Amino acid sequence: MKINWLFGFIVLFMFSISNAQESTIDLIKTEKLIVDAFLGFDKFENKYYIKHNTLFKISPSNEETAFQDLLLGDISRVDFLNPNKIIVFYQMANVVIILDNRLTEIDRQNFNTLSPFKNVSHAGSSKDQSLWIYNIDLNQLELFDYRYDKTIAQSLPINNEILNLKNNFNFCFLQTSDGILIYNIYGSLLKKIPKRDIMGFDVFKNKLVIHSQEGLEIYNQNFDLEELVKVNFEDYESLFYKDENLYLYNGEKIFFYSITNKN
């Protein structure tokens, strides 16, 4: 039975690969940038990066704003899905800071003060005043309302280590050693994308991009494989996807790529 299931999955995967539209990718430009972490661009084309444990925001006109709270330890993740409510997560301190578009603190959530206590390994923004958080004591993804310190929804326990979290307002994407798990705002598992060789992935709106040995795979709003791009990237530290554009950062330069469908 297990062999038949595996064979069926292989056939289905090969069918999806063969039906994916073939696309091309072109290097548009490079930009020198030496920072600790390049994060990407928001919908207003503001650029975000971390240097010396400080979050920087650079506007298209090169206006610079910055935020730091060195007492909280290292910045673990920054989410600027909503540029007016930027989420800065400090895993060591178990704290989320919410910033406005000037990088001024407007709220903070300290998970240490909750009852029951929440031990959070990953966090990101969702709808309204809510956060996606991964509770490592319960091994559950939660949708958490930080206005009322209340869990709105939660997943069933996940029997795998969570390596990374990406999100939009409606869905959360968890990377494990076996692939990507996709959840909705009710805590329901919508889909599993088996893949053991993920080198980078990102989400823009409801599109998912995965870089693996097969190439650059782009999944549509139903999370079915839509495009496959053959690539041969050199080593990079981070991958960011936005508006059919891909950005790779190698510690010294940002590489700007444009993805074009050949059909």
pLDDT tens-digit readout, 56-80:
999 999 999 999 999 999 999 999 9
Fill in the amino acid letter for 169.
F
Query: Quick one: pLDDT at residue 9?
Result: 42
Fill in the amino acid letter for 213.
Q
CA angle 176/6/228 to nearest 5° reads 60
pLDDT tens-digit readout, 111-169:
999 999 999 999 999 999 999 999 999 999 999 999 999 999 999 999 999 999 999 99
In three-state secondary structure terms, 224 is coil
Query: Quick one: pLDDT at residue 108?
Result: 97
Residue 192 near residue 184, CB atoms below 8 Å: no
pTM given for the model: 0.91
Residue 43: DSSP 8-state: T
Within a 13 Å sphere around the CA of 232, how many CA atoms are in the beta-carbon half?
Answer: 0
| Mean pLDDT taken over the chain | 92
pLDDT tens-digit readout, 208-263:
999 999 999 999 999 999 999 999 898 999 999 999 999 999 999 999 999 987 66
**Domain positions in the chain:** 1-32+195-263
d(CA 42, CA 81): 7
d(CA 217, CA 199): 12
d(CA 261, CA 87): 33
Q: Which residues contact 18 (CB under 8 A, 6 or more apart)?
A: none
Fill in the amino acid letter for 189.
L
Query: Quick one: pLDDT at residue 13?
Result: 45
